[in-house]
Amino acid sequence: MPVQKIKRSYRKTRYILYKETLVDYKEHFWSFLGSFVGIGILAYLESSHFYGPDAVFLIGSFGASSVLVYGIIQSPFSQPRNLIGGHLISAFIGVTVGKLVPDIVWLTAPLAVSLSIIFMQITKTLHPPGGATALIAVTGSAQIKGLGYMYVISPVLTGVLILFVTALIFNNMTSSRSYPSHSTYHKHYHKIRKRITGK
């Protein structure tokens, strides 16, 4: 009996490892295309509106958000409420901390990140890249700090909405991908697409 259990456990483990390491080329294709277009639009806005070394639209936390909203679309952290709410709350807290405790980086950096985590937890909008958004608000260049609360609107809200709309389009292109998870958007999207294309 123990030998049979060991063999069964071995087969199950092998199957799970096999399934987890399968390469799904379609999934990778849509993840690549969605993130390429989303970040590409932000990069285009950056290059056409701003000059100099400081990337205002291309804040680092958008790269991390792209991993979540295009690569791990079923994660609770990837959902619209978390994506938009997490960034906005963190940006607001980062700017506020920067204004209340200016130029003391050893205090402002941990305070901005820690408070943003707490407020994201309270509002159920936890989005890991939000911590970076708060950190950028207090450690960014003079150009970023000079934006003040406009940082919350642009680049943060503007950029997040671009990533979100792009995710809605590219994460629902096939029947195997559905974003946001547990919503009827996916079904409506495919009905509209069938009407337009006639397929």
195 in a structural domain: no
Full residue range of the structural domain in which residue 103 is found: 25-172
Examine residue 112 and state whether it is found in any structural domain, yes or no.
yes
Establish if 57 belongs to a structural domain.
Answer: yes
Amino acid 169: pLDDT = 93
Whether 14 maps to a domain, the answer reads: no
Residue 20 covered by a domain:
no
Query: What are the residues whose beta carbons fall under 8 Å from the beta carbon of 149, sequence distance 6 or more?
Result: 92, 95
Q: Does some domain include residue 180? A: no
Total domains in the chain come to 1
Q: What is the pLDDT of residues 127-151, one digit of tens each?
A: 999 999 999 999 988 888 889 999 9
Residues of the chain below pLDDT 70: 1, 12-23, 50-55, 183-190, 193, 199
User: How far, in Å, CA of 37 to CA of 162, rounded?
Assistant: 10
Q: Kindly report whether the global pTM for this prediction surpasses the value 0.85.
A: no
- What pLDDT score does 28 carry? 87
pLDDT at res. 18: 57
Residue 148: the pLDDT is 93
Please report, for residues 156, 157, 179, the alpha-carbon distance to residue 170 in angstroms, rounded to integers and kept in the order given. 21, 20, 9
Does the residue 4 lie in any domain?
Answer: no
Residues 6 or more apart whose CB falls under 8 angstroms from that of 89 comprise 116, 119, 120, 123, 125, 130
Cα-flanking dihedrals φ and ψ of residue 135, to 5°?
Answer: -65, -40
Task: Answer whether residue 182 is part of any domain.
Answer: no
